[in-house]
């Protein structure tokens, strides 16, 4: 309980310290603003903008509002000190999608003006002598962005226009919604993730390794040596957005056709087909400890089983084992005796 109280007190102290810094920046802007000179007012605008960003970090809505009021007041005062130029607006807002807007510039006939260089997401320039054209690129981030545009005129005078662009909504998409793996996967599969906010992965099965890498999701499944397929639903989470990725993997089981063998008393040869899941061959070995029959591998998909003549009165049984790593596939073998057949389990 004491630790929790100390943690709360520490958090409050940190928040109070940050808030005090914001207030100091704001008060500094007020002090400079009182001088009412053109350069002082421009300096005050920069201080108020810095204080606003500080209040935004501390989520102080009242602080943000008072800064915006002072920025507007300062821009109006600056315009009154510069009678040689008047702007129709001192602040322009843009949607997240971006676009164009213009401001009417009223200036005396012998007054030339220009626009200072801007940030990479804003293009601004003269459309004609009386129009400032502003173009803003789409904002793909989830954060609002702002910039102060400077118009220079006369020998050293300057007017400013505040630009604000809305944040984009959180977005998330993946290149594939389902991925299937064979039992033996010798390479990774990659899914592209497109999001404008940080994302993470949840509900990852223990049989599949998942490695986030930049805007990629790298999937590496383990070998499925079970006798059944397996599947899972991986979630990619970005804020309130969720994308689901269905992953599945075939089993590593093999079977034979026929599943069991019956031989006549005099002996004969028979072929056995090896059937793989997904028709992808997997390594296997033959366990052949039989005295009265032999097993030969023809190729990866065919075995040849030969039984010799049975001189016994009774029939005889054995089992052919096909070993795939730690799993045995059993193929029962029966051969008739002199008395003929017997009742078999198949």
14: three-class secondary structure by DSSP: helix
The winner for highest mean pLDDT among 167-181, 274-288, 314-328 is 167-181
- CATH code 2.60.40.10 for 254-335: yes
Model confidence pLDDT, tens digit, residues 48-83: 999 999 999 988 989 999 998 988 888 777 766 655
pLDDT band at 5 (very low <50, low <70, confident <90, very high): very low
3-class DSSP state for residue 234? strand
What per-residue confidence (pLDDT) applies to 194? 94
Distance CA 116, CA 158 (A): 10
Distances (CA, A) of 82 to 44, 79, 128, 270: 16, 5, 21, 104
Domain ranges of the chain: 1-81, 83-169, 172-249, 254-335
Q: What is the pLDDT of residue 10?
A: 39
Q: What is the CA 225 to chain-centroid distance, rounded?
A: 30
- How many C-beta atoms lie closer than 10 Å to residue 52's C-beta? 24
Mean of the per-residue pLDDT values of the chain: 84
Task: Give pLDDT tens digits for 195-239.
Answer: 998 999 999 999 999 999 889 999 999 888 777 889 999 999 998
**Mean pLDDT within 102-130:** 83
100 or 3, higher pLDDT: 100
- Pick the more confident residue, 128 or 147: 147
pLDDT at 11 over 80: no
Query: Going by C-beta distance under 8 Å and a sequence separation of 6 or more, which residues neighbour residue 208?
Result: 219, 220, 221, 222, 232, 234, 247, 249
> Per-residue pLDDT averaged across 310-328, rounded?
82
CATH architecture of 172-249: Sandwich (2.60)
254 or 242, which is more confident: 242
Residue 279: burial class (beta carbons within 10 Å; 0-12, 13-18, 19+): exposed
C-alpha 13/C-alpha 121 separation (Å) is: 38
Answer whether residue 6 shows pLDDT above 50: no
Laid out side by side, the sheet with 316-324 consists of: 261-263, 327-335, 316-324, 285-287
Is residue 170 a contact partner of residue 142, using CB atoms and an 8 Å limit? Answer: yes
pLDDT band (50, 70, 90) for residue 8: very low
Whether residue 22 is predicted with pLDDT greater than 90 in this model: the reply is yes
83-169 against 172-249: fold identical = yes
Q: Residue 224's pLDDT is what? A: 81
Contacts of 82 (CB under 8 A, 6+ apart): 38, 153, 157, 159
pTM above 0.95, yes or no: no
Residue-wise pLDDT tens digits, 259-305: 899 999 999 999 999 887 666 676 788 876 678 898 999 988 899 99
Domain at 83-169: CATH architecture? Sandwich (2.60)
């Amino acid at each position: 309980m004491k630790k929790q109280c100390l943690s709360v007190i520490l958090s409050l102290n940190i928040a109070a310290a940050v808030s005090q810094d914001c207030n100091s920046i704001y008060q500094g802007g007020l002090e400079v603003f009182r001088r009412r000179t053109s350069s002082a007012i421009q300096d005050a605008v920069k201080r108020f903008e810095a204080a606003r960003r500080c209040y935004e970090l501390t989520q102080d809505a009242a602080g943000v509002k008072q800064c915006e009021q002072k920025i507007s007041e300062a821009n109006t005062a600056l315009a009154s000190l510069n009678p040689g130029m008047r702007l129709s607006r001192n602040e322009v807002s843009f949607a997240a999608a971006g676009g164009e807007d213009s401001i009417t510039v009223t200036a005396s006939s012998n007054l030339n003006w220009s626009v200072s260089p801007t940030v990479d997401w804003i293009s601004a320039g003269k459309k004609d002598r009386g129009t400032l054209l502003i173009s803003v690129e789409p904002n793909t981030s989830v954060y609002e962005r702002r910039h102060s545009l400077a118009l220079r005129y006369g020998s050293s005078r300057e007017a400013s226009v505040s630009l604000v662009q809305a944040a984009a909504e959180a977005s998330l998409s993946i290149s594939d919604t389902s991925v299937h793996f064979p039992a033996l996967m010798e390479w990774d599969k990659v899914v592209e993730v497109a999001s404008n906010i940080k994302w993470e992965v949840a509900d990852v099965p223990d049989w599949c390794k998942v490695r986030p890498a930049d805007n990629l999701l790298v999937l590496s499944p383990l070998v499925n040596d079970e006798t059944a397929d397996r599947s899972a639903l991986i979630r990619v989470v970005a804020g309130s957005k969720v994308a689901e990725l269905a992953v599945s993997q075939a089993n590593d089981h093999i079977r034979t056709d026929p599943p069991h063998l019956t031989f006549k008393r005099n002996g004969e040869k028979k072929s056995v087909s090896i059937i793989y899941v997904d028709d992808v061959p997997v390594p296997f070995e033959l366990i052949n400890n039989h005295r009265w029959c032999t097993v030969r591998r023809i190729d990866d998909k065919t075995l040849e089983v030969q039984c010799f003549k049975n001189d016994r009165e009774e029939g005889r049984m054995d089992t052919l084992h096909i070993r795939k790593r730690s799993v045995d596939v059993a193929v029962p073998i029966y051969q008739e005796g002199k008395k003929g057949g017997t009742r078999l389990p198949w």
